[in-house]
């Protein structure tokens, strides 16, 4: 039977895992926060707790099928679920083939140990199956965070899962290097207390990392909603307004800037003839034509309706004219395809640079607006600055 300290550790770990499961259920059903990933985490916690409880019952029951084999399988299934969670967080398709293959491998191989294979290979085989599953979870978590932020942050977030993967891999090698450390699981003669501590830490680390990922996703989503235009995914009016204020503050310290204000030509006619769906598609196509012309430190935003504003850092009027002309030509070269219809898209551009008398960015914007007005009056599909 288990020693008292081992029993306490098993009970504490199971309690931690069940509390975590409860919290994930609240996330899934109460807060409706990443429901698929949260349900996956709740199930993974229940499976991990079951694996631990079954392991704790070894020797107490005379049927190793019900303890050793069942514990191996529930543990492996828990790690398989964990490897799917990052993809669910991303609302993408999880990489289910590898987890499924490894679960099947456990299903086929682990009975051998109940039937009499040498137990010193048990840990090696089990952890050779479980470590890649946790490694997959770690890699998926890295990719998820990396797609939204810097590599260093992604590395820091996925590091705990990576470290646990290495720990499991080390557990696979341990029985080969120190066979004396391996208790006979079928007799239940002993329990590796260090392993129990590792189980407790593993449960807490995995839950904390995934909870952090869920919250990070939530924060990024809120940030996106407050800063970006949902249709075109460029900065919204408020965010581009803030970027202008910051550029104006930098200009007071000596860094010039210029604005390009543009408005799609005859957009109402396009909406009226092809419908709003085509209008929306045209706005996306417009953004697609503008993006290659802006640098990383420039800012592109939707000023309203079919009007867009580009803030060009460290740029004067000549530079702005060059960029705007490139944008104009780019847009004109990519007609909108809408079913059988094909429409030439054009826009008119007004440009302005910041001048010493400008007390605020609104003054610069007003000149860009006057340039745009002139471009419209002179026949559209033109770049103009106020004369």
Ligand X SMILES: Nc1nc2c(ncn2[C@@H]2O[C@H](COP(=O)(O)OP(=O)(O)OP(=O)(O)O)[C@@H](O)[C@H]2O)c(=O)[nH]1
Enzyme catalytic residues = 306
Q: Does 223 bind ligand X (CB under 6 A)?
A: no
Is the CB of residue 369 less than 8 Å from the CB of residue 316?
Answer: no
Residue with the two structure tokens 């990383």: 296
Helices within 26-121 (DSSP H only):
35-56, 64, 70-89, 97-109, 111-114
Task: Kindly tell me which of 35 and 305 has the beta carbon lying closer to ligand X.
Answer: 305
Q: Does 343 bind ligand X (CB under 6 A)?
A: no
Cβ-in-10-Å burial (0-12, 13-18, 19+) of 342 comes to: exposed
Task: Kindly tell me which of 159 and 373 has the beta carbon lying closer to ligand X.
Answer: 373
Provide, rounded to whole angstroms, the least separation between the CB of residue 220 and ligand X: 24
Binding mask 363-382 for ligand X (x = CB under 6 A): -------------x---x--
- One residue of 279, 301, 361, 371 binding ligand X per CB under 6 A: 279
Instruction: Report which residue's Cβ sits closest to ligand X.
Output: 279
Q: Does 263 bind ligand X (CB under 6 A)?
A: yes
- One residue of 35, 305, 316, 335 binding ligand X per CB under 6 A: 305
- One residue of 72, 265, 298, 369 binding ligand X per CB under 6 A: 265
Q: Is 32 left (phi over 0), alpha (psi -120 to 50) or beta?
A: left
Residue 232 has phi, psi (to 5 degrees) of: -100, -10
DSSP states along 152-193: HHHHHHHHHHHHHHHHHHHHHHHHHH-GGG---TTTT----H
Provide, rounded to whole angstroms, the least separation between the CB of residue 334 and ligand X: 18
- One residue of 271, 330, 370, 374 binding ligand X per CB under 6 A: 271
Task: Kindly tell me which of 180 and 230 has the beta carbon lying closer to ligand X.
Answer: 230
Q: Is 191 left (phi over 0), alpha (psi -120 to 50) or beta?
A: beta
Q: Does 267 bind ligand X (CB under 6 A)?
A: yes
Please state, as a whole number, how many other Cβ atoms lie within 10 Å of the Cβ of residue 95.
15
Query: Would you tell me which residues interact with ligand X (CB under 6 A)?
Result: 231, 263-269, 271, 276, 279-280, 283, 305-306, 376, 380
């Amino acid at each position: 039977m288990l020693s008292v300290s081992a029993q306490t550790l098993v009970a504490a770990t199971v309690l931690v895992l069940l509390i975590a499961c409860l919290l994930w259920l609240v996330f899934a059903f109460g807060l409706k926060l990443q429901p698929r990933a949260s349900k996956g985490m709740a199930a993974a916690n229940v499976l991990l707790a079951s694996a631990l409880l079954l392991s704790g019952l070894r020797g107490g029951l005379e049927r190793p099928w019900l303890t050793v084999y069942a514990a191996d399988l529930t543990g492996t299934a828990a790690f398989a679920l964990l490897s799917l969670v990052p993809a669910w967080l991303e609302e993408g398709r999880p990489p289910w083939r590898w987890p499924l293959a490894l679960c099947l491998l456990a299903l086929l191989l682990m009975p051998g140990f109940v039937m009499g294979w040498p137990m010193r290979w048990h840990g090696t085989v089990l952890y050779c199956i479980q470590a890649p599953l946790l490694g997959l979870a770690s890699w998926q978590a890295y990719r998820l965070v990396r797609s939204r932020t810097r590599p260093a942050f992604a590395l820091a977030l996925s590091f705990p899962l990576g470290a646990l993967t290495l720990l499991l891999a080390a557990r696979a090698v341990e029985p080969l290097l120190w066979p004396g450390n391996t208790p006979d699981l079928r007799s239940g003669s002993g329990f590796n207390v260090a392993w129990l501590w590792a189980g407790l830490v593993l449960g807490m680390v995995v839950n904390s990392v995934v909870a952090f990922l869920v919250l990070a996703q939530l924060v990024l989503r809120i940030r996106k909603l407050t800063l970006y235009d949902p249709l075109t995914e460029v900065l919204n009016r408020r965010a581009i307004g803030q970027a202008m204020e910051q550029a104006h503050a930098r200009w007071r310290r000596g860094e010039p800037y210029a604005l390009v204000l543009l408005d799609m030509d005859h957009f109402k006619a396009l909406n009226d003839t092809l419908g709003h769906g085509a209008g929306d598609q045209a706005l996306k196509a417009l953004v697609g034509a503008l993006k290659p012309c802006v640098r990383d430190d420039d800012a592109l935003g939707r000023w309203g309706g079919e009007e867009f504003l580009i803030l060009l850092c460290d740029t004067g009027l000549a530079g702005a004219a060059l960029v705007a002309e490139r944008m104009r030509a780019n847009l004109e070269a990519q007609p909108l395809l809408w079913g059988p219809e094909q429409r030439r898209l054009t826009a008119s551009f007004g440009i302005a640079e910041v001048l010493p008398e400008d007390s605020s960015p609104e003054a610069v914007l007003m000149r860009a607006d006057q340039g745009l007005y002139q471009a419209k009056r002179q026949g559209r599909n033109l770049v103009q600055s106020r004369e």
